[in-house]
Amino acid sequence: DAHISSDLVRVILTEDQINQRLAEIAAQIDEEYRDKDVLLVGVLTGAVMVMADLSRAMTIHCSMDWMAISSYGSGTQSSGVVRILKDLNTDISGRHVLVVEDIIDTGLTLSYLVSNLRSREPASVEIMTMFRKPEAAENAVDVKWVGFDLPNEFVVGYGLDYAGKYRNLTSVATLAPHVYS
């Protein structure tokens, strides 16, 4: 079946729940940056959906830029050593930067990224992530806005992929076992 819905077992978060939470966070971000020129930095590829929806839920001006990164390391375990595949087009020195992510899993990607961005001497760096997994607590990443804390199970949708697919699912859901086999 070509339809995504036939691969899903259980919806964890609906499109409505996601949109409602985004509206709340966007209002807080509007307030935080009302007198500042904020640059939203999205991490490709997972953050594409949250960047598009968060920025349109905001009512203040913003700019956008993107980074593509890949973690080094053998096997499935992330090493925390990150390679920049595509750097920012923007000089962020003196700028107010808000990193926009889909998910913090181990936290290794963002802890590297934030220290890298800080070395460029921006006026501020904050993080907004739509989702967070329990393991993130083990790596101290100072996150200002979190959409939802997720249970420790594999989920897809709203930017989260399995083998590059399912990002375009508007909800967040668990995958049926037949997908893996």
Q: Active-site positions?
A: 105
DSSP state of 87: -
CA distances from 107 to 78, 143, 145, 157, 164 (A): 10, 10, 14, 19, 20
Residue type for position 55: S
Instruction: Find the shortest distance in angstroms from Cβ 161 to Mg ion.
Output: 5
Neighbour-count burial of 130, counting CB atoms closer than 10 A to its CB (0-12 exposed, 13-18 middle, 19+ buried): buried
Residues 30-59, mask of contacts with ligand PRP (x by CB under 6 A): -------------x-xx-------------
- Give the C-alpha separation, 160 to 154, whole Å: 10
Q: Which of the ranges 76-84, 134-142, 155-163, 167-175 carries the binding residues for Mg ion, by CB under 5 A?
A: 155-163
Report what 103 binds from Mn ion, Mg ion, ligand PRP, none; CB cut-off 5-8 Å by kind: ligand PRP
Q: Does 107 bind ligand PRP (CB under 6 A)?
A: yes
Q: Does 157 bind Mn ion (CB under 5 A)?
A: no
- The site that binds ligand PRP (CB under 6 A) totals a number of residues, namely 14
Helix (H, G, I), strand (E, B) or coil at 100: strand
Q: Does 161 bind Mg ion (CB under 5 A)?
A: yes
Instruction: Find the shortest distance in angstroms from Cβ 135 to ligand PRP.
Output: 7
> Both tokens of residue 162?
């399995």
- Give the C-alpha separation, 174 to 41, whole Å: 28
Residues 59-98, mask of contacts with Mn ion (x by CB under 5 A): ----------------------------------------
Q: What is the largest CA-CA distance in the chain?
A: 52
Using Cβ positions, the residue closest to Mg ion within the complex turns out to be 161
Binding site residues, ligand PRP, CB under 6 A: 43, 45-46, 78, 101-109, 161
